Chains A and B, each alone.
Chain A
């Protein structure tokens, strides 16, 4: 642990990693809560896997066609937003085919990413770090983009708190109250897409869903209102990312996987604790 603290004090890349984890956690707490109570985890999963397509395409054009400005993070944002809008429109228009479309998009997004990365010289090794995260590779430029995305997601997520609460709790009632329910649904998917991109920088594509939902699931055992759930989920998420990074540093474990295992372990303890101390629920 002292080695980790030394590293925090001395190395910028460790500081960036910590900061990226904390920033992503704030968006994660707010948007993750909406995702869980609205029960669209599967949609978030589809969006996160499509991100690989965007990353792969950005890497390819950056490397092969010399578009130096096209950072993989831009590709990730574009792919996530596109996937969110496609899934959103499909689920609004053709309800019975929703899960099929999400499943297909999920796999197609990954396949596109794999194809682009295979044709990008020198980048095949990086596939693992996009899939499972490599938070220690966050650069200063990445950090600015992460901060900007985070601010956008947090502001929109909180400004429309009443609307999102009403739509998530009872969509039909909200519609009768004259709300543009479809608009808020698509906005929520857009925020989910941006949050997924933030979390991909921390734990990678495959592990995003766990980081989006586990802090909320833990918070759900303590929170009685939606905003409490958000605040607690953000705190738990910060705890998991920071502690995961600290634990993984010295033995050189993959940070993303450590974060997720830690989150899963805490969730398990909370579930079991709730069973032991509150046996009334059947």
Chain B
């Protein structure tokens, strides 16, 4: 695959293994500007690994990942990242403002309280996710959906061009989930978005591209995602009713 100048992520022949267990093999992928891509696939299929390769948190054992035409490390100031929810301790003594301001850490001055300009960026991000009123609330007192939105606001406070979200819909009920997707759709007007999910049900309604990750990577425009594609992916009929997804996702080796 050659470098497409309009693509902002360019993955060429990338393989990755944890110790000797191969996770990804010979992956080629281009993500165009303003894409709204969803990475789906079974647990352990390599979705999060691929996301971490985009961020330079992991290095490929073979091949090359380029983001904005350079190394992932060099691209980090332009990337907003939301890690998996389980990674964060909900009882940590912080309020909403503290969390969102962390998005400014690489750009603000080294020492002392965040200056006004940085706080303004953070509050704007909070307004964008609709939580401006909750600035002083304890992070641990929020609902699951509110916490996810605070973490998205933190990623937006970076003023990114690319937004990477790992399982943003985990632990959300259906209304909170559609609210989240509507928010992401609005953000997609100015940002390229890639999110990881194993929630197939909502994918087709909102996203432009589906990236299927199961050791190797297959990219589909959303319109092409049919029952056939999904069967191949998960190795069996996956019921598209959301209640059943965990059972099916868990069965696959």
Binding site for B on A (CB under 8 A): 37, 159-160, 162-163, 165-166, 168-170, 172-179, 220, 223-226, 228-229
Can you report 16 A-B residue pairs in the complex whose CB atoms are below 8 A from each other? A165-B98, A165-B102, A166-B102, A168-B92, A169-B102, A172-B57, A173-B102, A173-B154, A174-B102, A176-B79, A176-B81, A177-B106, A179-B106, A224-B93, A225-B94, A226-B94
Cα–Cα, bound, A175→B83 (Å) = 12
Cα–Cα, bound, A176→B103 (Å) = 10
In contact, A170 and B87 (Cβ under 8 angstroms): yes
In contact, B102 and A225 (Cβ under 8 angstroms): no
In the complex, which of the residues B57, B76, B89, B95 contacts A225, with contact meaning CB atoms closer than 8 Å? B95
Give 8 new A-B contacts, CB below 8 A, not counting A37-B89, A165-B98. Answer: A159-B111, A165-B102, A166-B102, A172-B57, A174-B102, A176-B76, A228-B93, A229-B93
In contact, B57 and A175 (Cβ under 8 angstroms): yes
In contact, A174 and B105 (Cβ under 8 angstroms): yes
Which residue of chain B lies nearest to A224 when distances are taken between CB atoms in the complex?
B138
A76 to chain B, nearest CB (A): 30
In contact, A177 and B76 (Cβ under 8 angstroms): yes
Cα–Cα, bound, A178→B154 (Å) = 15
Cα–Cα, bound, A163→B108 (Å) = 11
B119 to chain A, nearest CB (A): 12
Q: Which of B87-123 contact A (CB under 8 A)?
A: 87-89, 92-95, 98-99, 101-103, 105-106, 108, 110-111, 114
Among A165, A168, A176, chain B packs the most CB atoms within 10 A around the CB of A176
Binding site for A on B (CB under 8 A): 55, 57, 76-77, 79, 81, 83, 87-89, 92-95, 98-99, 101-103, 105-106, 108, 110-111, 114, 138, 154, 158
Complex contacts, B105 vs chain A, CB 8 Å: 162-163, 166, 174, 177, 179
In contact, B93 and A223 (Cβ under 8 angstroms): yes
In contact, B83 and A169 (Cβ under 8 angstroms): no
Complex contacts, A163 vs chain B, CB 8 Å: 105, 110
Which residue of chain A lies nearest to B155 when distances are taken between CB atoms in the complex?
A173
In contact, A169 and B55 (Cβ under 8 angstroms): no
Complex contacts, A176 vs chain B, CB 8 Å: 55, 57, 76, 79, 81
Q: Known contacts being A176-B79, A178-B106, A225-B94, is A169 close to B88, with CB within 8 Å?
A: yes
In the complex, which of the residues A170, A174, A223 contacts B88, with contact meaning CB atoms closer than 8 Å? A170
In contact, A169 and B92 (Cβ under 8 angstroms): yes
Complex contacts, B83 vs chain A, CB 8 Å: 170, 172-173
B113 to chain A, nearest CB (A): 8
Complex contacts, B89 vs chain A, CB 8 Å: 37, 169
